[in-house]
Structure 1
Amino acid sequence: MLFFVTVMAVVCLQRLCELMLAARNARYIRARGGVEIGASHYKYIVLLHVCFLVSLIVEVVATDSASPLPPWWGYSFGLFLAAQLLRYWCIRSLGKRWNTRILIVPGEAPLRRGPYRWLRHPNYVVVAIELFTLPLTFSAVNTAVVFTILNAWLLLRVRIPLEEKSVYER
């Protein structure tokens, strides 16, 4: 259980730091004339991630599935850690343009460096991997399945089409 508590504390701290970075970057982008696209759906993105963390904690505590760890935990946790490397590559590649919101500066072309040379939405790949592998590390299969499906629906039906239209089709 100590491993689970430690991982969850690090993940929650990571998310808080990312939100602070996103807020700072948002101020920078807005100061340059940037506008937000699809602000009305952002609360659902935040809600999904908060509910994911709560669900993971509740499922692990309720089923006491964090100890002992399942035999596959090393594979799922290794993939989770690899996703973190990709996350920070995304953040570094976008620099001050990285955000949790869709913020664009009219007239600026999308960046095509780092993982964005090969994928338009590598950070969404990271999130998909996280939402599946972190719960699996602790045998929280229900959380893994439910939030992977909800995330896929929200990204594919709402978020990515908005981003494609505002960033790539202008």
Structure 2
Amino acid sequence: MIYFWIWIVIIIQRIVELIVAKSNENWMRGKGANVVKEGHYKWIVVTHVSFLLWVMIEAYLSHSLTANIGEMLIISFVLLQLFRLWCLFSLGRFWNTRIIILPGAELVKKGPYKFINHPNYLVVGLEFIVIPLLFKAYIAAILFPILHVILMCYRIPLENKVLKEVNEE
């Protein structure tokens, strides 16, 4: 039963994030922001949706939905969610799932962004390991971190390039 509730929390969280992202996008566009064309964005969406479906299907097919959840995995999951929230709140209205540039805006260097670039991508990568392990979906715990790294090899350089160009202006 706990699997069901964890699953529901993850789904609700992702839906809320998409709503927040759209609201932030509209706010930034209203201030003159530009959305960067990202050919890889659809693959990020496909990967995330596939991840959520794969984990549940793999867990169901392996009958591991009744297995005991390790305390360390639960603690890791909760800590990742808190770190995710720290990332989102630190960026505020500038957080988004897309690359959106608002001319004249300062680069955010507070919260986790003071210590590392792109901390939210680190959270996602770790979630792609921890969440499948919670559900004993071992194939997903291997496959989706690899897909995430591949996608980030495109996303992060593009984001860095755009941020550098804007900050040089």
TM band (smaller chain): over 0.9
The residue number in structure 1 matching 2:106 is 109
In the alignment, the residues of structure 1 paired with residue 6 and residue 39 of structure 2 have an alpha-carbon distance, to the nearest angstrom, of 31
Taking structure 2 as the reference length, the TM-score comes to: 0.94
| Gaps in structure 1 of 5+ consecutive residues | none
Asked if structure 2 preserves the Cα contact closer than 8 Å seen for 1:36 and 1:102, the reply is: yes
The residue number in structure 2 matching 1:94 is 91
The residue number in structure 2 matching 1:167 is 163
Counting only pairs closer than 5 Å after superposition, residues 16-165 of structure 1 correspond to structure 2 as 16-69=15-68, 73-155=70-152, 157-165=153-161
CA apart distance, 1:169: 4.5
| Gaps in structure 2 of 5+ consecutive residues | none
Quote the sequence identity (%).
38
In the alignment, the residues of structure 2 paired with residue 164 and residue 92 of structure 1 have an alpha-carbon distance, to the nearest angstrom, of 21
In the alignment, the residues of structure 1 paired with residue 164 and residue 49 of structure 2 have an alpha-carbon distance, to the nearest angstrom, of 29
Moved over 3 A (4+): none
CA apart distance, 1:60: 0.4
In the alignment, the residues of structure 1 paired with residue 140 and residue 94 of structure 2 have an alpha-carbon distance, to the nearest angstrom, of 31
Cα-to-partner distance string for 1:57-88 (whole Å, 9 max, x where unaligned): 11000001122225xx2212211211111111
In the alignment, the residues of structure 2 paired with residue 108 and residue 114 of structure 1 have an alpha-carbon distance, to the nearest angstrom, of 17
**Number of equivalent positions:** 166
In the alignment, the residues of structure 1 paired with residue 164 and residue 63 of structure 2 have an alpha-carbon distance, to the nearest angstrom, of 46
State the SS of the aligned residue for 1:128.
Answer: helix
